A and B are shown apart, each in its own frame.
Chain A
Amino acid sequence: AQSVAQPEDQVNVAEGNPLTVKCTYSVSGNPYLFWYVQYPNRGLQFLLKYITGDNLVKGSYGFEAEFNKSQTSFHLKKPSALVSDSALYFCAVSGTGGYQKVTFGIGTKLQVIP
């Protein structure tokens, strides 16, 4: 069974500082990895994905994530945090093959402090 772990319930970072939100995964075969963001009372917004290729993937709003196969990690990063980045971030994984279900992590609340 596939699974995702987000070890931090909350991450606090000062505005302008770099941020990292951690994610590790477990899946059979090659993973397809995603990050989604959820603002209060809103749906899930797609940030970025890793399917294959370069281990560093760039996404929306200046976010990027690094795929590390040996550590089975897919940490989300941003060089300079904005207050507007404060939201709930979900890491997700699906397995090889089409129309695979996506398994989400529990979510990490990011709080950017002005």
Chain B
Amino acid sequence: EPEVTQTPSHQVTQMGQEVILRCVPISNHLYFYWYRQILGQKVEFLVSFYNNEISEKSEIFDDQFSVERPDGSNFTLKIRSTKLEDSAMYFCASSMDGYEQYFGPGTRLTVT
């Protein structure tokens, strides 16, 4: 069964550094998403992406964040200058129809 994959599984970075989290969505899906889950808290929507552009973003998704689909298969989340409070589990999701979203296993980002 096809699944969403994410790399790396765990990323440790120093405050102020740039990080890129990578996702490979399910191949025939058209909608792509990033969510995050701070430890012990609920899953929060960050951004949705369709037709090569951002379709919706939350207030969390400020100028420090960007997304890209560089080659038709990968979907990346970049954080330009990480802060301690960016430490979280980041989930990528993809969807064929914009409703049923399939989630990847997540990347645990630790900012020190």
Chain B contributes a number of interface residues (CB within 8 A of A) equal to: 27
Q: Is A113 on the interface with B (CB-CB < 8 A)?
A: no
Query: Is the CB–CB distance between B99 and A100 below 8 Å?
Result: yes
Interface Cβ pair total, 8 Å cutoff: 63
Chain B residues touching A, majority SS: strand
- Binary flags per residue of A99-110, CB closer than 8 Å to B gives 1, else 0: 111111111000
Query: Which A residues lie within 8 Å of B102 (CB)?
Result: 46
Nearest Cβ in chain B — how far from A77, in angstroms?
Answer: 20
Size range of the interface on A? 20 to 34
Q: Is A94 on the interface with B (CB-CB < 8 A)?
A: yes
- Binary flags per residue of B27-46, CB closer than 8 Å to A gives 1, else 0: 00001010100000111110
- Given A43-B91, A104-B43, A105-B42 in contact, is the A98-B97 Cβ separation under 8 Å? yes
Query: Is the CB–CB distance between A36 and B103 below 8 Å?
Result: yes
A44-B43, A44-B93, A106-B42 given; 17 more Cβ-contact pairs under 8 Å: A36-B103, A44-B103, A45-B103, A90-B43, A97-B98, A98-B31, A98-B50, A98-B98, A99-B31, A99-B48, A100-B48, A100-B98, A100-B99, A101-B56, A102-B33, A104-B42, A106-B41
Taking Cβ atoms with an 8 Å cutoff, the residues of B that contact A are 6, 31, 33, 35, 41-45, 48, 50, 55-56, 58, 91, 93, 95, 97-106
